[in-house]
Amino acid sequence: MAIKFVHFIVEQKSYPLMNDHPALNPANIFATYLGSKELSPFHNCYANENTVLRLAAGRFYAHHNGENVTSSYWALRQHAALFDVPERPVEIAGPGAVEFLEYLVARNIKDMEVGRGRYALICTHKGGIFMDGILFRLAENRFWFVHPDGDLDTWLLANCNSFDVSVSDPKSRVLQLQGPKSFQIMHDATKGALTQNFRYFHSGFFNVDGQQVYVSRTGWTGELGYEIYTLGQNTDYVRLWNELITSGKKYGMVFSSMQAMNIRRIEAGILDSGSDFDTSMTPDEAGLRRFVDRDKKYFIGYEALKKRNTGNRIHGMLARSYTPKGGDFVHDGKNIVGYVTTGTYSPEFNAGIGYVRFNLAKDHIGNNYYIGNLDSSKHTCKIIALPFYDKNKKKSKMAKLDLQESITLDITNKTGMN
pLDDT exceeding 90 applies to what percent of the chain?
77
Query: In this structure, is residue 163 part of a structural domain?
Result: no
pLDDT tens, position by position, 122-156? 999 999 999 999 999 999 999 999 998 888 989 99
Domain boundary among 266, 290, 306: 266
- HSE, CB side, 13 Å, CA atoms: give it for residue 262: 21
Q: Average pLDDT over the chain, rounded to whole? A: 87
Q: What is the pTM of this model?
A: 0.86
Bigger pLDDT: 364 vs 397: 364
Residue 28 sits in which domain range?
1-32
Bigger pLDDT: 329 vs 413: 329
Bigger pLDDT: 28 vs 368: 368
Q: What backbone phi and psi angles, to 5 degrees, belong to 75?
A: -65, -40
Residue 408: what pLDDT? Answer: 34
d(CA 366, CA 234): 52
CATH number at residue 369: 2.40.30.110
Residue 405: what pLDDT? Answer: 37
399 and 319 in one domain?
yes
Query: In this structure, is residue 260 part of a structural domain?
Result: yes
255 and 361 in one domain?
no
Query: In this structure, is residue 158 part of a structural domain?
Result: no
Q: Which residues pair with 226 in a beta bridge?
A: 177
* For residue 24, pLDDT beyond 60: no
72 and 24 in one domain?
no
Residue 294: what pLDDT? Answer: 81
229 and 335 in one domain?
no
**DSSP labels, 2-56:** -EEEEE-TTT--EEEEETTBPPP-GGG------S--BPPTTHHHH--TT-EEEEE
Asked if 66 and 48 touch (Cβ cutoff 8 Å), the reply is yes
Residue 94: other Cβ atoms inside 10 A:
18
pLDDT class of 14 with cuts at 50, 70, 90: very low
251 and 222 in one domain?
yes
The residue-averaged pLDDT of 391-396 equals: 50
Query: In this structure, is residue 368 part of a structural domain?
Result: yes
**DSSP labels, 43-90:** HHHH--TT-EEEEETTEEEEEE-S--HHHHHHHHHHSEEEEEE--EEE
327 and 388 in one domain?
yes
d(CA 224, CA 226): 7
Query: In this structure, is residue 141 part of a structural domain?
Result: no
Asked if 76 and 261 touch (Cβ cutoff 8 Å), the reply is yes
Query: In this structure, is residue 288 part of a structural domain?
Result: no
CATH number at residue 72: 3.30.1360.120
* For residue 347, pLDDT beyond 80: yes
193 and 74 in one domain?
yes
pLDDT tens, position by position, 364-379? 999 999 999 887 778 9
d(CA 192, CA 115): 18
- Helix (H, G, I), strand (E, B), or coil: what is residue 329? strand
Residue 79: what pLDDT? Answer: 98
d(CA 301, CA 298): 8
Residue 356: what pLDDT? Answer: 98
d(CA 176, CA 85): 7
d(CA 114, CA 216): 12
Domain boundary among 237, 266, 295: 266
8 and 63 in one domain?
no
The residue-averaged pLDDT of 52-61 equals: 91
Of the candidates 314, 316, 318, the one whose C-alpha atom is nearest the C-alpha of residue 402 is 318
Domain count, the chain: 3
Tell how far CA 250 is from the center of its chain.
28
Strand (E) or helix (H) holding 140: none
177 and 70 in one domain?
yes
Residue 8: what pLDDT? Answer: 39
- Helix (H, G, I), strand (E, B), or coil: what is residue 167? strand
d(CA 71, CA 88): 28
What burial class does residue 297 get, using C-beta atoms within 10 Å of its C-beta: 0-12 exposed, 13-18 middle, 19+ buried? exposed
Query: In this structure, is residue 179 part of a structural domain?
Result: yes
d(CA 266, CA 222): 9
Domain boundary among 266, 287, 306: 266
187 and 57 in one domain?
yes
343 and 200 in one domain?
no
Which amino acid, 410?
D
* For residue 92, pLDDT beyond 90: yes
Query: In this structure, is residue 107 part of a structural domain?
Result: no
The residue-averaged pLDDT of 284-304 equals: 92
pLDDT class of 64 with cuts at 50, 70, 90: very high
338 and 262 in one domain?
no
d(CA 317, CA 324): 9
